[in-house]
Amino acid sequence: MKKSFAAILVSVLFLLGLGLVMLYSASYPYAQKASLCQGDLYWFVKRQIIWGVIGLVGLLIATKLDYNLWVKVAWVFWITAFIMLVLVLVPGFGMKINGARRWLKPGFQPSELGKVAVIFTLAWCLDRWRVSIQNIRFWDCIRFKQKFSDFAKGFFLPMGVTGMIVLPIMCETDVGTSVLIGVVGLCMMLLGGVRWWLVLPTYGVAGLVVFEYLCHDPVRWKRITDIGMDIQQMQAKAAFALGGIKGVGLGLSRVKEHYLPLAFSDFIAPIIGEELGLGWMIAMLLAFMILIAAGVYASSRAREHAGYLMGMGLITLIGLQALINLAVVTSCMPNKGMPLPFISYGGTDLCVLLVCVGVLLSIARHADTSEPALSPARRATNPFKARTLQG
Give 213's pLDDT tier (boundaries 50, 70, 90): confident
The pLDDT score that the predictor gives to residue 383 is 38
- Decide: 188 and 123 in contact? Cβ < 8 Å: yes
Least confident piece of the model among 44-48, 243-247, 293-297, 334-338: 334-338
Span 250-254, average pLDDT: 87
Q: Say yes or no to pLDDT of 147 above 90.
A: no
pTM: 0.90
pLDDT tens for residues 45-92? 999 999 999 999 999 999 999 999 999 999 999 999 999 999 888 877
Choose the most confident range, by mean pLDDT, from 145-149, 257-261, 379-383: 145-149
The pLDDT score that the predictor gives to residue 298 is 93
Full domain range(s) for residue 60: 2-390
Length of the chain: 391
The pLDDT score that the predictor gives to residue 373 is 56
Q: Say yes or no to pLDDT of 283 above 50.
A: yes
Least confident piece of the model among 9-13, 251-255, 350-354: 251-255
Q: Say yes or no to pLDDT of 288 above 90.
A: yes
Any residues with CB less than 8 A from the CB of 108 and at least 6 apart, and which? 84, 348
At position 65, the amino acid (one-letter code) is: L
The pLDDT score that the predictor gives to residue 98 is 64
The pLDDT score that the predictor gives to residue 229 is 72
Give 223's pLDDT tier (boundaries 50, 70, 90): confident
At position 227, the amino acid (one-letter code) is: I
Q: Say yes or no to pLDDT of 100 above 80.
A: no
The pLDDT score that the predictor gives to residue 384 is 39
CA distance 45 to 23: 6
pLDDT tens for residues 296-335? 999 999 988 999 999 999 999 999 999 999 999 998 888 8
Q: Say yes or no to pLDDT of 110 above 70.
A: yes
Least confident piece of the model among 45-49, 192-196, 334-338: 334-338
The pLDDT score that the predictor gives to residue 387 is 35
Supply angle C-alpha 108, 113, 118, rounded to 5.
160
Give 369's pLDDT tier (boundaries 50, 70, 90): low
Give 221's pLDDT tier (boundaries 50, 70, 90): confident
- Of 82 and 99, which is predicted with more confidence? 82
What rounded mean pLDDT belongs to the chain?
A: 87
Span 284-306, average pLDDT: 94
The total of other beta-carbon atoms located within 10 Å of residue 385's CB is 15
pLDDT tens for residues 169-180? 988 778 889 999
Q: How many structural domains are present in the chain?
A: 1
Burial label for 155, CB within 10 Å (0-12, 13-18, 19+), is buried
Mapped to the 3 state alphabet, what secondary structure does the chain carry? CHHHHHHHHHHHHHHHHHHHHHHHHHHHHHHHHCCCCCCCCCHHHHHHHHHHHHHHHHHHHHHHCCCHHHHHCHHHHHHHHHHHHHHHCCCCCEEEECCEEEEECCCECHHHHHHHHHHHHHHHHHHHCHHHHHHCCHHHHHCCCCCHHHHHHHHHHHHHHHHHHHHHHHHCCCHHHHHHHHHHHHHHHHHCCCCHHHHHHHHHHHHHHHHHHHHCCHHHHHHHHCCCCCHHHHHHHHHHHHHCCCCCCCCCCCHHHHCCCCCCCCCHHHHHHHHHCHHHHHHHHHHHHHHHHHHHHHHHCCCCHHHHHHHHHHHHHHHHHHHHHHHHHCCCCCCCCCCCCCCCCCHHHHHHHHHHHHHHHHHHHCCCCCCCCCCHHHHHCCHHHHHHHHC
How many Cα neighbours within 13 Å face the side chain of 43? 16
Q: Considering only CA atoms, which of 60, 72, 55, 65 is closest in space to residue 19?
A: 55
pLDDT tens for residues 127-138? 999 999 998 888
